């Protein structure tokens, strides 16, 4: 499934209107880039759902376990379509385990190494989001780490899925898809790159030109 990694309402609504994207993913950084704060999460959820998002991933924040858990419970209260995002930290994973035991859908995020798949499994998470591009920035092979993470989760058989994030270009998307990754969250720029391959656009324009000439 493809998700839109943005809180830019105009761009997200246009992309959701294509019917090609299953939902929206956000975090505090994405909200800030859109001129929003975590307090705007309920509004983002409202308009994203109205625009056709089937799932909205919202990230809980807090300086300690108690605050993180309280915010996570507040977010999931917005609707059954909300998945609570929690970081792959000690506090985030502990809160993830408590919430998933109650049936709350959770995504473990900010993952930088394939070994963290073990933690996501132990936390009962439904998804884990490796930061593919950022791993590569740190000198790791982000694609291979993500593939290894995927293989570990498949072997465990508990159903946790990889939601590849922080992707840099369409080449990374294609490489991961070819290796079995099924879920991606993409920036609006990367969504546009997938939708508007320049060679395809040129070919389509030529088709129209030829159709008019023949008519």
DSSP the chain: -EEEE---HHHHHHHHTTT---EEE--HHHHHHTT--GGGHHHHHHHHHHTT-SEEEEE---SSHHHHHHHHHHHHTT-TTEEEEEESSHHHHHHHHHHHHTT--EEEEEE-SGGGHHHHHHHT-SEEEEBHHHHHHTTS-HHHHHHHHHHHHHHHTS--EEEEBS--SHHHHHHHHHTT--EEEE-HHHHHHHH--HHHHHHHHHHHHHHHHH-
> Which one is catalytic: 45, 49, 71, 85?
85
126 is catalytic: no
Which residues are catalytic, by number? 85
């Amino acid at each position: 499934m493809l998700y839109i990694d943005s809180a830019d309402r105009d761009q997200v609504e246009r992309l959701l209107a294509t019917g090609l994207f299953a939902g929206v993913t956000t975090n505090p950084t994405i909200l800030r880039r859109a001129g929003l704060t975590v307090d705007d999460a309920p509004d983002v959820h409202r308009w994203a759902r109205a625009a056709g998002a089937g799932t909205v991933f919202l990230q809980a924040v807090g300086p300690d376990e108690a605050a993180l858990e309280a915010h996570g419970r507040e977010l999931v209260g917005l609707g059954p379509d909300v998945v609570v995002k929690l970081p792959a930290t000690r506090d985030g994973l502990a809160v993830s385990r408590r919430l998933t035991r109650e049936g709350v859908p959770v995504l473990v995020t900010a993952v930088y190494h394939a070994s963290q798949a073990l933690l996501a499994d132990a936390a009962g998470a439904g998804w884990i989001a490796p930061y593919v591009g950022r791993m590569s920035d740190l000198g790791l092979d982000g694609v291979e780490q993500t593939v290894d993470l995927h293989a570990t989760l498949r072997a465990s058989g508990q159903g946790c899925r990889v939601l590849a994030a922080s992707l840099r270009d369409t080449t990374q998307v294609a490489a991961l898809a070819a290796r079995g990754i099924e879920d991606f969250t993409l920036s609006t720029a990367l969504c546009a790159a997938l939708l508007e391959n320049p060679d395809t656009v040129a070919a389509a324009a030529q088709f129209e030109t030829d159709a008019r000439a023949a008519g």
